[in-house]
Structure 1
C-alpha cells in the first residue's frame, strides 16, 4: 500500500472525495499495527495485490474509525 495505482485512487476518490487521504492513512495505521504482530503482512498485501484493493482500504479505514470511537 505504498504508492497506490491511479485506478485505486480514482475508485477511492469517487465516493470519499477529500476524505480519501485520511481513509488511506487510517488503513495504513491498521496494517502497521497488524505488522507488529505479523511482520509478513506488508509483503503479503503487496504480493497478493490486496494492498491496492479499494474495498480492503475502505474496510480497514472503517475498522479504524470504529476503534477510535471506543
Structure 2
C-alpha cells in the first residue's frame, strides 16, 4: 500500500468501505485521527484498482510518497 502526502501535510491512502469489498482513496488532515473519502474518486471493486486511481492522482498533483 502506498501512502502519499501533499504540500499541506494531508495524507492520502486507499481504504476499504464499511461492510463490503469496495475500496476508495481517503485523506487525513494534519492533527486529525479520522479519514474522509475523496469525493472525486469512485468506489472500486478491488484494492489494486483504487490504488491505481490514487497513484495517477498523486503523479498528476506531484504528491510525495511517505511511510506513515
Q: Same fold (TM over 0.5)?
A: no
Higher relative contact order (CA 8 A, sep 6+): 1
Please tell me whether Structure 1 or Structure 2 has the larger radius of gyration of its CA atoms.
Answer: 1
- Report the TM-score when normalising by structure 1: 0.34
The answer to which structure has the higher strand fraction is 2
TM-score with structure 2 length normalisation?
A: 0.35
Q: Which has the higher helix share?
A: 1
